[in-house]
Amino acid sequence: MRYRVHGEPEASGICHCETCRRIASAPSLPFVVFRAEQFAIIRGRPVEFRSSPPVIRSFCGTCGSPLTYRNTQGADRIDIMTCSLDDSQAFTPTFHVWASDKLDWDRVSDGLPLYLTTRKSGRVSSS
Binned average pLDDT, 10 residues per bin, the chain of 127 residues: 95 97 96 97 95 94 95 92 96 96 94 93 72
Distance between CA atoms of residues 81 and 68, nearest Å: 6
Number of domains in the chain: 1
* pLDDT given at position 120: 87
CATH at residue 97: 3.90.1590.10
Q: HEC string of 9-54?
A: CCEEEEECCHHHHHHHCCCCEEEEEEEHHHEEEEECCCEEEEEECC
pTM of the model: 0.92
Which domain range does residue 57 map to?
A: 2-126
